[in-house]
Amino acid sequence: MSVLDAWQQRLDDARTDRQRQHRWRTRQALARDTLDFAGNDYLGLAHDPRVSEAQAEGARRFGAGAGASHLVSGHLDVHDALEEALASWTGRQRALLFSTGYMANIGVLQALADSHTAIFQDRLNHASLLDGATLSGARSRRYHHRNMNDLENLLKRSDSVHKLVISDGVFSMDGHIADIGALVTVSQRHNAWLMIDDAHGVGILGDEGSGCVGSTWRSDDVPVLVGTLGKALGTAGAFVAGDAALIDHLIQFSRSYIYTTAQPPAIANATLKALEIVQQEPEHRAHLNANIAYFRHEALHLGLSLSDSSTPIQPLILADESRTLRWAAQLREQGIHVGAIRPPTVPKGEARLRITLSARHQHEDIDRLLAALHDCQQQESL
């Protein structure tokens, strides 16, 4: 076999394997009139004209891109202003911007952990946290989802001096909120640092939308806080918030911070506007919460098996992968987009429709979704 054939064979095998498991992923350009129940624009800020205008104005003022990394010449006043605003919002000394949440998690773990570090993660943590731990070379253990006894047992058995417990704040595929208080207690009892990735909590939960950690837990309790800007804040990028010593350390040692072009300043300008709206206009959160309550009430009435979630993430567990694809396709025919989430993103046997709600949705939109879900149910019972 030639080298070329060998590579061809490898790609073909991987494809055949994935397709046989109904796990082949495809992208779909979203038609403009599609009702989107899959995205993470929970407050509608990605479509708020004030945020778009701040982005346009930022581009006119600072240019289309940063032109260099933060440590070279890409770091502008607008980045400083955003970092200060994020730090004050989350009650931390400092914050540091990253280009994406994925890069923030990789960068934090690589800068904090090495082969002498022991990392303990919830089994359902986001892929970027799992990848970050692997890349750091740390000794990694995963505890059962939100199971503090399991975590405690693993911590007890560790003789590492540097222990790091990591959890999503809001679990991205389940909508569950982590018990931060319990994580703080267990971590402190075993001299471990606690890192929370609140990608789906910031903007939604807590005082002024500062998340499930934000103003409630101080950096003594949760020393490492990660938030992302591409979800409820409607723009793009991420931040790490904590004490000055942590942030200084990341600026020195976090390779995914150092060796990449700075966040476009126009995005930073738009994010400042989005943050101002999140802090000053609680009505968007109120509308979102009313939508969540309405959807749950009606869906449970239809007998749909929703998971126990009070967040905008409302998964409908269908278990079987081909069934999940069938329902998603049927919804799409009716102009409704939901996420069809299959392993390896979720555990085997737990394929689901990931339905997300937003303050952009009106009651009529939710009624359309419910009617379409009801149609799927009816077809199955034929």
Ligand X SMILES: *Cc1c(COP(=O)(O)O)cnc(C)c1O
Please enumerate, by residue number, every residue annotated as part of a binding site: 25, 101-102, 126, 172, 200, 228, 345
CA–CA distance, 41 with 172 (Å, rounded to integer): 13
117 near ligand X, judged by CB under 6 A: no
Q: Which is nearer to ligand X, 135 or 370 (CB)?
A: 135
User: Tokens 């022991």, residue?
Assistant: 118
Is 47 among the residues known to form the active site? no
228 near ligand X, judged by CB under 6 A: yes
101 near ligand X, judged by CB under 6 A: yes
Nearest CA among 305, 314, 311, 308 for reference residue 366: 314
Annotated catalytic residue: which of 163, 176, 200, 273?
A: 200
State the helix-helix crossing angle for 180-189 and 148-157, rounded to 10 degrees.
20
Annotated catalytic residue: which of 176, 231, 287, 361?
A: 231
User: Tokens 């994020």, residue?
Assistant: 86
239 near ligand X, judged by CB under 6 A: no
238 near ligand X, judged by CB under 6 A: yes
Q: Which residue's beta carbon is nearest to the bound ligand X?
A: 101
126 near ligand X, judged by CB under 6 A: yes
Q: Which is nearer to ligand X, 270 or 372 (CB)?
A: 270
Min dist CB 368 to ligand X, Å, is: 26
Q: Which of 175, 206, 209, 230 binds ligand X (CB under 6 A)?
A: 230
Q: What is the DSSP string of 231-300?
A: STT-S--EEEEE-HHHHHHHHHH-HHHHTSBPPPHHHHHHHHHHHHHHHH-THHHHHHHHHHHHHHHHHH
- Specify the DSSP class assigned to residue 261: B
Contacts (CB under 6 A) with ligand X, residues 332-371: none
106 near ligand X, judged by CB under 6 A: no
Is 231 among the residues known to form the active site? yes
CA–CA distance, 100 with 106 (Å, rounded to integer): 10
Is 144 among the residues known to form the active site? no
Q: Which of 55, 100, 110, 324 binds ligand X (CB under 6 A)?
A: 100
Q: Which is nearer to ligand X, 231 or 360 (CB)?
A: 231
- Pattern 129-168, binding to ligand X, x per CB under 6 A? ---------------------------------------x
- Specify the DSSP class assigned to residue 176: P
Annotated catalytic residue: which of 136, 172, 187, 219?
A: 172
Q: How many CB atoms lie within 10 A of CB 373?
A: 22
Show Cβ contacts of residue 118 under 8 Å, excluding neighbours closer than 6 positions. 138, 139, 140, 141, 158, 160, 162, 163, 164
CA–CA distance, 163 with 121 (Å, rounded to integer): 11
State the catalytic residues: 172, 200, 231
